[in-house]
Chain A
Amino acid sequence: MTSTLAGSGSPAPARRPPLDPNAPVILTVEDLKVQFPTEDGLVNAVSGVSYELRAGQTLAIVGESGSGKSVSSMAIMGLHDPKRSRISGSILLDGQELVGAPQKTFQRIRSTTAAMIFQDPQSSLHPLKKVGPQIAEAYLAHHKVSKQVAAKRAVEMLDRVGVPNPDRRAKQYPFEFSGGMRQRAMIALGLVNDPKLLIADEPTTALDVTVQAQILDLMNDLQREFGSAIIMITHDLAVVAEIADFVLVMYAGRSVEHGTAQEVLANPRNPYTWGLLSSVPSLTADVGTELHPIPGNPPSLLNLPEGCSFRPRCGFSDRVPGDRCAAELPEFRQVPGEPGRMTRCHLEDPAAIFADEVAPTLE
């Protein structure tokens, strides 16, 4: 690689264990579309997302608000009201097709095969129930055991996620927990049934950095222990660097880039990813330089532009011959000569443009 950012033969982030390429596939999402009919018209919240996730791997889905990262993940959990949403494409979770599946299927899947933790632990725990019994209830729903066994399991889970004095804490209410402890309790609740897939929707956004570091470490440790696949929804690229094996970048409801975290963050191939990286002030870069924001705002999901959705904000569309960017939506395709890397862009040689023009502005 010509880019100075790639660092010759730099190791993968030290906090992640090496990947097992033969791990079983847990989740395959193909051309997923989610639309919401509203009074103003059809909202195209997700209009074409594809990815695959194997056991023990962490996929980070990044994008700005309205990019469809949460909506696509909620579709996996069956959290969209079938009457108010139109879902098409395919979601294969542990061999089972979920698009069009009845609510009963989702009830069985939730918490046993897939579990979700949310940004705001305050509002996702029942405020009037003690923490221990809430976790025990989730265990009881899927296991034929006595209440005592379930209660014991709840305490054990609290202990596992690093809540001190789990015996005493299990008998407390959520309001008696601090933000970080509450997020730990949420994770305990999510993992109580040993799910194969854990979806974490901005789990650390509401937390302070020191607590965020604790929770990210915890998620790494737990993944090693339980071997679950994790989907981490976030807007923070630095968090991605810390925790993810793979990254999926989304823009206006579509996947625009996919690859290993190392590849996507160090050598991105899509102009939108370039823009995201240039927007973030680094902890080490020279100060006093201007940031390079992406101009403009994301498009309205009611009325996506013709062709590439990012074109109105993209500084590179004039490199594509003709008016292809405006006329034709680029396919989500493999980057020529780079297996495993996917991008949605008409640019012929994004690697060269990144190395020559974008990378120098990032340091």
Chain B
Amino acid sequence: MTDYTSDAVEPPVVDISKSAGGTIVHESSREREILLTVTDVAKYFPVKEYSGLFPKTLQTRAVDGVSFDLAKGETLGLVGESGCGKTTTGRLITRLIEPSAGSIEFGGRDIAHMKEKDLRPMRRDIQMIFQDPYGSLNPRFTVLKIIGAALEIHDMVPKSQVKPRVQELLELVGLNPEHVNRYPNEFSGGQRQRIGIARALAVEPKVVVADEPVSALDVSIQAQVMNLMSKLRRELGIAFVFIAHDLGIVRHFCDRIAVMYLGKVMEIGDREDIYEKPQHPYTQALLSAAPDLNVVRGAVPNERIRLIGDVPSPIDPPSGCRFRTRCWKAQEICAAEEPPLEPAKDKPKHTIACHFPEVKTELVADVEAS
């Protein structure tokens, strides 16, 4: 009997390809078969400002023209500081909220403004894993009911098969299948996150949007959950949109990375492009700000780019390039013209929104002078 009580037991490999009807995608044979295309999508939230006699309604531009695509089995990382719109983008893709502009193409149809009724079948294909393993599970429901609800709503299996299927899913995410009748409070944080993952997988999605899935967990548990997600991705060929602020974890998990700032994508490219040869000043600043464990192992500490000040308000973002107020390269053109997202030289897949992109060779010593 396998001991499932611990959080880390690697689950036995369940042949999901049979039971779930999914197909196993092998890394080598993968071609970029586009699942999801996001074009110029935007989301404005109204905010009331109470100055003067009459309240004014202003717009918070949480996401302001974001475009990317996602291929089958691919993982796209969305990184950026709080308020950059990465979570809102995730909620737009899953259509938890409706975009103010732009299109989201999934399975050949634009789902951006689809009605709730028509969205139903698509909800099966795009699932979400939430950050908070405590708030995202109903405390009054047993695990069977939580995961079973997903199965029943989408008519995945006949009623009599719900329990066995839930148990199979629990096994898949490394939990004891005998715990189906337990309540969320009987599980630890890492185990709850596994329940959340099992719920998302229950409906055999093609795309999973994971919004900071491990940031609420302790490091040792984080690694357990990340390994589980890597395994599921490998075995089930699910495409992930992975939202996180931890640059190390994103590098570990994602094939492609989009760096966001104030509702815009600043740079998007393959892992190596972003981490080894970032060309946008903001990406460079973000990477240099991440503390590095290797300094104690004798690595030479990177000269740190100290960004001055805070992210400007998304209610009234700067003209032209949004990063220019904190950028050491900023010139007149940056305030006047917004740089489009353009491919780098000889790199069609690596696009940068900057008037002065360059591969960092040696950092300017007095970047603080900005």
Contacts and interface: CB of A to CB of B under 8 A. Distances in A.
Given A210-B289, A217-B306, A10 B251 contact: no
Contact of A291 (B226, B297, B304): B226
B157 interface: no
B153 interface: no
B190 A297 contact: yes
A276 B188 contact: no
A13 B9 contact: no
A281 interface: yes
A363 B311 CA distance: 35
Interface string B296-318: 11111100101101100000000
A284 B286 CA distance: 15
A287 interface: yes
A294 B247 contact: no
A13 B247 contact: no
B67 to A, nearest CB: 24
A10 B298 contact: yes
Contacts of B292: 238, 241-242, 283-284
B85 to A, nearest CB: 14
Contact of A208 (B82, B222, B309): B82
Interface stretch (B49-57, B117-125, B213-221, B359-367): B213-221
Contact of A280 (B6, B224, B227, B248): B248
Nearest to A4: B297
Interface residues of B, number: 48
Interface string A160-180: 000010000000000000111
B306 A279 contact: no
A91 B328 CA distance: 48
B294 A282 contact: yes
A279 B233 CA distance: 19
Given A180-B310, A214-B306, A291 B291 contact: no
Select the residue from B8, B252, B275, B290 with max chain A CB neighbours within 10 A. Answer: B252
Interface string A265-290: 11000000001111111111001001
Contacts of B223: 278-281, 291-294
A168 to B, nearest CB: 15
A239 B310 contact: no
Contacts of B264: none
Contacts of A275: 220
Interface string B183-204: 0000010100000000000000
Contact of B230 (A6, A181, A262, A290): A290
B296 A262 contact: yes
Nearest to B230: A290
A278 B223 CA distance: 9
Nearest to B224: A293
Nearest to A11: B298
A15 B227 CA distance: 34
A216 interface: yes
B293 A238 contact: yes
Interface in B75-96: 81-82
A117 to B, nearest CB: 18
Interface string A239-266: 1011000000000000000000110011
Contacts of A292: 223
A13 B301 contact: yes
Nearest to B291: A238
Contacts of A181: 310
B295 A242 contact: yes
B255 to A, nearest CB: 10
Interface string A3-25: 00111101101110000000000
A212 B291 contact: yes
Contacts of A178: 310
B330 interface: no
A300 B245 CA distance: 30
B256 interface: no
B8 A283 contact: no
A237 interface: yes
A295 B294 CA distance: 24
Contact of B252 (A235, A262, A276, A287): A287
Nearest to B255: A287
B20 interface: no
B242 to A, nearest CB: 13
Contacts of A235: 218-219
A208 B219 contact: no
Contacts of A11: 298
Contact of A295 (B9, B290, B293): B9
Given A181-B310, A213-B289, A297-B7, A283 B247 contact: yes
Contacts of B309: 164
B145 interface: no
Nearest to B247: A283
Given A211-B310, A283-B248, A296 B8 contact: yes
Contacts of B251: 281, 283, 287
Nearest to A276: B219
Contacts of A64: 218-221
Contact of A281 (B9, B224, B249): B249
Contact of B220 (A276, A283, A290): A276
B168 to A, nearest CB: 23
B220 A242 contact: no
A297 B188 contact: yes
Interface string B87-126: 0000000000000000000000000000000000000000
Contacts of B300: 14
Nearest to B288: A213
A314 to B, nearest CB: 12
15 contacts: A7-B299, A164-B309, A210-B285, A210-B307, A212-B289, A216-B291, A217-B304, A237-B293, A241-B295, A281-B249, A282-B248, A287-B251, A296-B8, A297-B7, A297-B190
Interface of A: 5-8, 10-11, 13-15, 64-65, 164, 178-181, 208-214, 216-217, 235-239, 241-242, 261-262, 265-266, 275-284, 287, 290-297
Return the 5 tightest CB-CB contacts between A and B, nearest first: A7-B298, A10-B298, A293-B223, A295-B8, A281-B252
Given A5-B297, A209-B245, A281-B251, 4 more contacts: A14-B300, A217-B304, A239-B291, A284-B292
